[in-house]
Structure 1
Amino acid sequence: MPQQVVIIGGVALGPKAACRFKRLEPESNVIMLDRSPRISYGGCGIPYYVSGEVSDITGLQSTAFHMVRDPAFFRDVKDVDARNETEVTAIDRTAKTVTARHLPTGREEVIPYDKLVMATGSSPRRLPIAGLDLAGVHTVDSLEAAESIKASVAAGGVGSVAIIGSGFIGLEMAVAFADMWGLDVTVIELFDQILPGVTGPALSTMARKHMEEKGVAFRLSEQVARIEGQGKVERVVTDKGAIEADLVIVSVGVVPNSGLAKAAGIAVSERGGVIVDEYMRTSDPDIYAGGDCVEVKNLVTGQPMYLPLGSMANRQGRIIGDNLAGGSSTFAGVVGSWCVKLFELGAAGTGLTLAGAKRAGFDAVATHITAVDRAHFYPEHGLMSLELVAERGTRRVLGLQGVSVMGDALIGKINTVAAMLPYRPAVSDVSNVEVAYSPPFAAAMDILNTVANAADNILAGQNKGISVTEFAALWDDAASGIHIIDCRENPQGGPLEEKYPARWHNIPQGQLRQRVSEVPKDKPVVLMCNTGARSYEALVTLTDAGFTQVVSVEGGMAAVKAAGIDV
C-alpha cells in the first residue's frame, strides 16, 4: 500500500533515505523539507571550496554527472517533493502530522505522514564568549557560510586568520588559508595538542610540526576569553594574550539538532542525541532518525557515542530507506574511523586512542613505529608512523592511528583494522593479516604487520619501549641521567656522540655484544636507532646480559625528527 513519508532535513541522510525508498516503493509519496536555501550538498568539501581546489560552489551540490541537486532535480529525476527554505516547527505524533513554515512567506502547512524521518543534523557549538556576532567571525556550517568566508578573503582585506579549535574542520581551514591564500594563520586550542581525542601526543606533535613548517602557528593550552573589534573583528583574546586577526573561524565541534524530537516526546540522551535502535527507529516506531542528530553504539566500548560524519549519514540513510519499505536492515554501530589531509601529510585513525581506551576502563598499552611505507629499496617511499592500541591480558586490538606523507597508503592500513575491529581482533590477527604486496605499494613485512609484532613483543615483556614524547621529556631533563646508546652505524650515530659526549654514545647494534662492558648498569639506558628495529635487538642483547634499566625509543630517530625534537 502506498505511503506518505515525510523527511525533515535535506543535506546528507535525508536525500539518501528518500531516493532509496523511492526506488523500492515508486508508488509512495516522499516530501523532504529543509530550512536552508540549498539542499543535498557535501559539507565536508567546504574547506576545499574556500581553498580554491573546488572552484565552483555548485560542485559541492552536484552529482558525478554534473546535475545540481536542487528541488527541481529531486522532483524530475527522483520523484521526490523537495521543499527548501521550509522549517518544521512541530511534530504531532498522535495526529501523525508535522507543521511546516515556508520561511520567505511565513505560510504554514500541516502535512500528514505515515512514516517520518528525522535528518535534522547538527549545529556548531557556540562558545560562551563575547564578540561572536562581530563581522568577520564565521562558523563552517553551510554553503552560504562558505561563500561568505571565501568572498571576504578574495576581496583582499584579510591578512591574518585566527582559528578557534584544532579538530578536522579547523585544521582543514588552516591549510586552506595558509596554502592557497598565503595568509598568516594561528590556531588556538584549549587542549595541549591538536586533534585532541583522536590521536595520541606523539602523532599529534608530528602533525603539528608539519603544519608549523608550512607556516601555521599554534597556541595550545589557551582558553579564548572574548573576540574584540569595533563592528568588525580585530583580535581574539585568550587567557594568555591576544592574537590579531582580520577573520576568525570558530570550529569547536557541533551539537545534535534534537529540539524537535525532544519537544515531541521522542527519547533523547543526556548528551542531546536522539536515541535509535539498530533499525534506526526512535522511541516512536513510526519515526526514524539518523545522521548528525543521533547517538550510535561504539562497537569497541559497547557504549553510546556521538559521531557526526557525512559518510555515516549516507550509510544510515540507505538503511532507513530499506526499512521504510518494510525491510529489516540494521546499523550495528561504529568504530570511529576518520582521516584528514594536512598539507602533504595524511592523518587517520580508527577505534580508541590510548587515553580513550583508559577512560573506557581498558588496561591498555600503545605501541608506536615509524618506518618506510613500502619496500625500502623502491625509490619512491615515504615515512609512515603508526600507533596501535591493545588491551593487556586479552591482547585485543582497540585502535590504530597514524600519520604519513603517503596518505592513500595510510588509509589502507587504517581501513584494514577498521574492518576488523567489530570482531574483536587480537594482536596476532593484525600480525598475520594478509595484505597485498608489491615493492611499489608495500614492504614484504607490511608496516601494519610490523606494528602488531612490536605490540606483541611489548605485551610479552620482550620489549620495553618509550614514546618520542617520553624521550623528549627525558632529553630535556638534564637531571634524568640517561645514557643514550645510538645503535646505528658510525656515519649516523658518530656526529651526535661528538655533539653530546656526556649523554650520547654510538655503539652499532652489530658491535654491542663485544662492547657490552661500555654500557653502565647503574644508569637508565635509552636505546636509539633509525626506526626502532635495531634498538629492539640491542635491548634483547642487554637484557640477556643482565641489564634491567634499559628501554628502546619507539620509532627511533625517524619519529624523533618527525616530532621536531631538537637533538
Structure 2
Amino acid sequence: MNQKIVIIGGVAAGPKTAARVKRLLPGAEVLIIDQDSLISYGGCGIPYYVSGEVSDEQELRDTSFHMTRDESFFARAKGVTVRTRTRALAINRQAKTVLVQKLDDGSREEIPYDQLVLATGSRPNVLPIPGADLDGVFTISDLHQAIAIKDRIVRGEVKRAVIIGGGAIGIEMAEAFVDLWHMEATILEYMPQLLPRLVDWDFAGMLEYHLAAKGVVVHTNEAATRIEGEKGKVKRVVTPRRSLEADLVVMAVGVRARSELATEAGLLVSPQGNIVVNERMQTSDPNIYAAGDCIAVVNRLTGKSGIAPMGSLANKEGRIVADNLAGIPTRYRGWVGSFVLKAFDSCIGATGLSLEAARAEGFKAAAVTTAQSDRAHFFPTQSVIPLRLIFDLNSRRLLGVQGFGPMGDAVLARIDAAAALLQQDATIDDVSQVEMAYAPPFATALDALNATGNVADNLAAGRLRYVDTRDFLNWMEDFANRPDWVALDIRHPSEAEILAAKFGAEKWRTIPYIEIRERYRELPDDKTMLIICDAGTRSSEIQIFLDSVGLQNNLVLGGGLNLIRRLGADWL
C-alpha cells in the first residue's frame, strides 16, 4: 500500500516537503491542503511587488522556468494533489484522520493519513488599539493583502502611509511606498531603535539616517495609541506625541505561530505558542511532523527556542521533514539568526547576536567595529563597509557580525561567511583565518571580515582600547565641559584642520599619521586622547606606538569618522 502523506499548509515548507517526498518516494500519495486560493508564492517578495520592482504578483507564484505554481502544476509536474480553499478543522490522532471543510460549499470530509505534516505558518500580530479594524489598515499576511494595497496605490487613493513597526517588513514597505510611488511614509517604532535586538544602536542609527535622507520619516521610542477614521476609513494614526495623517496604515509588529490545530490535537506546544519538534522535525506524536513559521526553532547560540519566520528556513525545514518521512535520518540543528535587508541603494545585514542581546543572554560580550574597504582600494567601485564583530571575552567565541554598506554583494558575503562560522562554534581566531575568495574587484587581499577578526583579537589581548561611540558623540555634544578629553586627528591635514578650525586647536589636535613618531612629544600627557582617523586602523597602530613611549592615556574611535559620518553627525 502506498504511503499516504497529508500536508496542511501550502506556502513554503509544505510545498517543499511535498516536492522532496515525491522525489524520494515516487509511489507515495501526497496531498497538500490549504485554506487559501493562492499557494506556493514568494511571500518575502511582497514588498518588492508593492514597490513595482516585481511588476506582477504572478511573478511571485511562478517558477524560475515561468510556470505558475498552482493545483495543476503540482499535479502534473510533481505528482502532488493540492486542495485549495480547504480548511483543516481538527486532527484525530487515534484514527489518523484530518477533518476538513471545503470553503466554497461548506461540506466536510475526513481525510486519512499515515504521516501528517503541519506547515500552518504564522499570522501577523494586530495591536489591540482603537481603529485597528478600520478600512485601510493592513497587515502583510498574504498575497491578497499586497494586491489590495497596490490596487489602492494605482488608483491614486494613497498619498500618505504610516507603518507601525520598524522591523524588516516595516522598513521594506516604507521603501516600497517612497521609492517608486513617491508617497509620504512614516515609520513608528516603540523601541528606541529600528531593528531592535537584531543590530546594535549605531548600526540601526546608520540605517535610520539613510532612510531619512531618502525621504522616510522615522519616529522611534514612540507607539501608536489609536487609529482614527472617517466614515469607516483610516485618516490618521495618533501617538502620545503627535497625530499623523494617513491614507493607509501597515501594521508590521511581528507574527505568531498558527498552532491551534496542534494545540487542540494535544501536541506539545511551547509557552509562546510554537509547535515543539525534535531534531527530526517530529512533534510529540511521531506520526506528525511540523515545519516553517509554526514551529519552535532552537537558537544555536543561546539554546533557547522561539519563532523563526524566514522563508529560507521554512524551505530547509521542509526538506528535512521529507528526508525523515522517506527514512533518511536527517537532523535539524536550529538557526543562528541571519538576515540582510535592502534599504534603497544601501543594505544592512547581521547574523548571530547583537551586543545588547549577547549581554542579556549572560555572555561576557565585547564588540569591535571597523570600516573596511569592500574590495581593493584601487578598484574603481570600492566602498567602505562598517562591520561589527561581537564575541565572548572568556572563550573568544564568535557571537555575531553586523554590516552596513551599499546595495550589492559586499555586506552579504561577509554576513554569509560569518553565519557559516557561527554554525561551527567558531572563535575570533577562526574569523581571522577563514579563507575568503580574493580578486581586486570583489575583496581586499586581507578580507574585511578577516581584518575585523584581527581587531577583535587585539581587543581580547589588551592591545586595543576603545572609546564607545555613544560616549564620543556625547562628548562632541558638550565637549566644553569635558576638558579632560582631547581629539588627536591623524588624518591628512586637508581633512583634519577643518575640524581643528571649528573646535579649536587645543581641543582638536592634528598631527598626520606619518608624522606621529617624530612629533609625539607635542602631545599632552595630562589628558585622555581620542585617536581619530577615517576607519580606526591607523588609530590602533598609533595607540600601540603611544603606549610604547609612555602616553598610555588614549582611546581609539572604532570605525573612525566613516562610522560617525553615516550616523549623520551635523558637525562633519
Question: What TM-score do you get using the length of structure 1 for normalisation?
Answer: 0.98
What's 1:494 paired with? 497
Between the aligned partners of 2:437 and 2:156, the Cα distance in structure 1 is: 49
Tell me what 1:484 maps to.
487
Question: For 1:25 and 1:144, how far apart are their aligned partners in 2?
Answer: 34
Q: Is the 8 A contact 1:350 1:400 kept in 2?
A: yes
CA deviation string 1:434-493 (max 9, x = no partner)? 111111111111111111111111111111113433321221133233211101121110
Shift of 1:522: 2.6
* Equivalent position amino acid for 2:432 in 1: S
- In structure 2, the partner of 1:526 is 530
Q: How does 1:399-410 map to 2 (within 5 A)?
A: 399-410=400-411
Q: Distance in 1 between matches of 2:547 and 2:235?
A: 60
Q: Partner of 1:512: helix, strand, or coil?
A: helix
User: Counterparts of 1:91 and 1:406 in 2: how far apart (Å)?
Assistant: 46
Aligned ranges 1:41-52 → 2 under 5 Å: 41-52=41-52
Output the amino acid matched with 2:498: P
Paired amino acid for 2:340: C
Distance in 1 of aligned mates of 2:118 and 2:462 = 51
The answer as to whether partners of 2:190 and 2:223 remain within 8 angstroms in 1 is yes
1:153-172 alignment, distance < 5 Å:
153-172=153-172
After TM superposition, give the deviation of residue 81 of structure 1 in Å: 1.3
Q: Does 1:9 align with 2:13?
A: no
Deviations 1:13-58 (A, max 9, x none): 0011011111222222111111111111010000010011111111
Q: Is the 8 A contact 2:342 2:407 kept in 1?
A: no
Alignment RMSD (CA, Å) = 1.2
User: Does the 8 Å contact 1:2/1:25 carry over to 2?
Assistant: no
Secondary structure in 2 aligned to 1:407?
A: coil
Cα deviation for residue 75 of structure 1 reads 1.5
* 8 A Cα contact 2:291 2:317, kept in partner: yes
How far is the alpha carbon of 1:305 from its aligned partner?
3.0
Letter in 2 for 1:408: D
Q: Residue 458 of structure 2 aligns with which residue? A: 457
Structure 1 residue 226: Cα displacement? 0.6
Conservation of the 8 A alpha-carbon contact between 1:74 and 1:80: yes
- In the TM superposition, residue 330 of structure 1 has moved relative to its aligned partner by 1.3
Answer whether contact 1:235 1:242 (CA < 8 A) is retained.
yes
- Structure 1, residues 225-275: CA drift from partner, whole Å, max 9, x if none? 011111111111112211111111100110011111011100000111100
Count of aligned residue pairs for this structure pair: 567
Amino acid at match of 2:44: C
Aligned to 1:245: 246
Kept in 2, the 8 Å contact 1:509–1:537? The answer is no
Structure 2 length-normalised TM: 0.97
Alpha-carbon separation, structure 1, partners of 2:333 and 2:158: 46
Amino acid at match of 2:542: A
For structure 1, the residue ranges without an aligned partner over 5 or more in a row are: none
Shift of the alpha carbon at 1:406? 4.4
Deviation for aligned residue 1:516? 2.6
SS in 1 for 2:496: helix
Q: Quote the Cα distance in structure 1 between the aligned partners of 2:236 and 2:552.
A: 54
What residue number does 1:147 align with? Answer: 147
Q: Secondary structure at the match of 1:522?
A: coil
Give distance in 1, aligned partners of 2:525 and 2:227.
Answer: 56
Structure-1 separation of matches of 2:38 and 2:527: 66
Name the CA distance, whole Å, in 2 between partners of 1:149 and 1:420: 40
Task: Please tell me whether the aligned partners of residues 368 and 467 of structure 1 are also in contact (alpha carbons under 8 angstroms).
Answer: no
Residues 261-294 of structure 1: CA distance to partner in whole angstroms, max 9, x if unpaired? 0111000001111000000000000000010000
- Structure 2, unmatched stretches of 5+, are none
Matches for 1:118-517 after TM superposition, within 5 Å:
118-230=118-230, 231-478=232-479, 479-481=481-483, 482-501=485-504, 502-517=506-521
Instruction: Tell me how far apart the structure 1 counterparts of residues 470 and 333 of structure 2 sit (CA, whole Å).
Output: 36
**Equivalents in 2 of 1:76, 1:564: separation in Å?**
56
Q: Amino acid of the residue matched to residue 148 of structure 2?
A: S
AA paired with 2:159?
A: G
Q: Does 1:544 align with 2:557?
A: no
Superposed CA deviations along residues 386-424 of structure 1, whole A, max 9, x for unmatched, are: 100010021111111111114312111111111111221
CA separation in 2, counterparts of 1:82 and 1:109?
A: 15
- The 8 Å contact of residues 165 and 188 in structure 2, kept in 1 or not, is answered as yes
What CA distance in whole angstroms lies between the structure 1 residues aligned with 2:271 and 2:553? Answer: 48
Are positions 1:555 and 2:559 aligned together? Answer: yes
Q: CA deviation at 1:155?
A: 0.8
- Stretches of 4+ aligned residues off by more than 4 angstroms: none
What is the identity, as a one-letter code, of the residue corresponding to 2:52?
A: G
CA offsets per residue over residues 536-558 of structure 1, 9 Å max, x none?
A: 12211222233343111111111
CA contact (8 A) 2:256 2:307 kept: no
